[in-house]
Amino acid sequence: MENSMNEQATTVENRARFFKRKVLSLYDSLVRLDASLSEVKLATFNSSELAVRLELLERAQASFDLAQNALEEIDYNEIGSETRDNFDERFLEVKSRVRAHFDSRERQLIRSSTLRRDETIDPSANGLGARSNRRRLPELKLPTFGGGYTEYASFWSMFESVIDKDNDLDDVEKFQHLLSCLTGPALDAVRSLEISRPNYRVALEILDNRFNNNRLVFQSHIKDLLGTKKVEAGASVATKLREFSDKVNVHMGALKTLGRPEEIANSILIYVLLQKLDVETQAAWEDSRALDNPAADKVPTANEFFTFLDERCRKLETLQYAMGSHTAGSQVGRSFSHNGSRKAKDTKLDPAHLALAVTVVGGIILCYILRHRNEPRQLMRLPLYSLKRPPLLLVNVFVLMLHSWVLLVFCLRVVLGRSFIVVLCWILVRKST
C-alpha cells in the first residue's frame, strides 16, 4: 500500500516536472521568435509570410495554455505564477507588431489592385478567418470629386481615412491618388501644380479654400431642396413620393448637421427673396459675401440681408441724385409730388409726333399744289381765302385729305413707321403723273 502511494507520488512529480519544462520551452521559443521578428525583418516579408507567422504565434499560445493548465492542476503553487503573465505579455507584443505589418500589406494590395485570388489563408486558424474572407471582397474604390459643394465633406472624409492618414505612403503617392480622384472643376483647380511633396499640401489647401465653404454648402443644399420636382399623380405616385421624401430627408439632414434651425430658416428666406431681385443686385449681394470678407464662410442672417437691401437702395438713390435724374420727393422706381400724390406725366412734345404733324401738313400742301399746278388762280385762291377765314381752312384741309388720299397716307404712316417716307414719295409721284 505504501509502495503504491510512493509510486503515485513519483508519477505526479514527474508529470509536474514534465509540464513545467514544457511551459518553459514554449516560453523560450516565443522569446526566440520575438528576437527574429524585428521591424527590419518584418518589412521584408510579404502578406503570406506574415500570415504564417501569425498562425505560428496562435499555435504557440494554444500549446502554452494546455501545458500551463495541466501544470496548475497538478501543482497548485503554479496558479498565478509569473510564467503565464510573462508569456502573455510577450505574446501580445509580438502579435501586435506582426499584425500591424500584415494590415499594412493588405491595404497596399487593395490600393494597387494586385490582390491574387489564389492566395488564401487557412480559415480554421484563430483570428485569421475574418482576414481571409476580407481578402476575397471586391476591390475597394477610392471616392471621386467633381466640384460639388455638397459632396466635398463626404469625399474628404473617405480620402483622408484611406489615403491621407496612411503612413506607408509618401506625399508624392498621396498627390497621385488625389489627382486620380478629381474631375471637372476640382481637377482644374490643382491641375497646374507639379507633382511633388510640398505641392500635395498646397493642393489640399486650394481644395479646402475653394469647396469647404459653409455658406455655399448651405446654399447648394437649399437650392437642391427647393428645386425638387413636383410629384405628379399617376400609377407610380408611391415610388415618386418615396424618392421625393428621401431627397428631402437627405438635404434636411445635411442642413441640420451644418447649422441651427434658425440659420436654416434664414438661408431659405434669403434664397427665395434673392430669386425676385435683379441680376445686378444679386451680384452685389455675392460681392458683399466675398471670400476676403471675414464673414464669407458664415451663414448670413435675415437681418444682414435686409440691411444690405437698405444700403443698396440708398446707393442707387445717391447715384440718381448725382446724375440729375432724381426729382424732388421721389424714390427709386416711383415719382410722387410733395403732398404724396402721384406727379403728372411730362408734357414735353415728342419729336416723333412733331415729325408726323409736319409730314401730314406738308403732304397736304404738296398734293394741293400738284393738283392745281395748271390753274394759277385756283392755286392762289384757297390759301388766301382760307387764311382770311380760319374756319374754312379746316374744311378745305378735310376736303383735300379725302380727295388726295392724304388720309390713306396718314394711316400708312402709323402702320409702316419709318417706311412711310418711301411710300409717301411713291404716292406723290403717282399722283403727279
**Residue among 360, 354, 353, 358 at smallest CA distance from 406:** 360
What's residue 336's pLDDT?
43
pLDDT tens-digit readout, 187-209? 888 988 888 888 999 999 998 88
Least confident span in 69-78, 83-92, 156-165 = 69-78
Alpha-carbon distance 26 to 61, whole Å?
A: 8
> What does the mean pLDDT of the chain come to?
71
Q: What's the Cα-to-Cα distance from 90 to each of 20, 93, 255, 302, rounded to whole Å?
A: 18, 5, 50, 64
What's residue 154's pLDDT?
80
What are phi and psi for residue 342, nearest 5 degrees?
-70, 135
What's residue 98's pLDDT?
84
Helical residues (DSSP H) of 236-389, grouped into ranges: 237-258, 261-274, 279-288, 302-323, 351-371, 376-388
What's residue 113's pLDDT?
47
Cβ atoms of 46 and 105 within 8 Å: the answer is: yes
pLDDT tens-digit readout, 3-24? 555 566 667 677 778 777 887 8
Alpha-carbon distance 414 to 406, whole Å?
A: 13
Identify the DSSP state of 46. Answer: -
pLDDT tens-digit readout, 244-280? 888 888 878 877 777 788 888 888 888 888 888 888 8
Alpha-carbon distance 123 to 117, whole Å?
A: 15
Alpha-carbon distance 153 to 195, whole Å?
A: 24
| Rama region for 417: left / alpha / beta (φ>0; ψ in -120 to 50; rest) | left
What's residue 159's pLDDT?
87
- Per-residue pLDDT at 289 exceeds 70: yes
- Per-residue pLDDT at 179 exceeds 80: yes
pLDDT tens-digit readout, 335-347? 444 444 444 445 5
Q: 182 forms bridges with which residues in the sheet? A: 145
pLDDT tens-digit readout, 208-232? 888 887 777 777 788 888 888 888 8
Alpha-carbon distance 205 to 171, whole Å?
A: 14
DSSP string, 67-78: HHHHHHHH-GGG
pLDDT tens-digit readout, 368-413? 565 555 555 554 454 444 444 445 445 555 555 555 555 555 555 5
The letter for the amino acid at 376 is P
Where do the structural domains in the chain lie, given as residue ranges? 2-135, 149-212, 215-229+239-313, 355-432
Q: How far is CA 247 from the centre of its chain?
A: 16
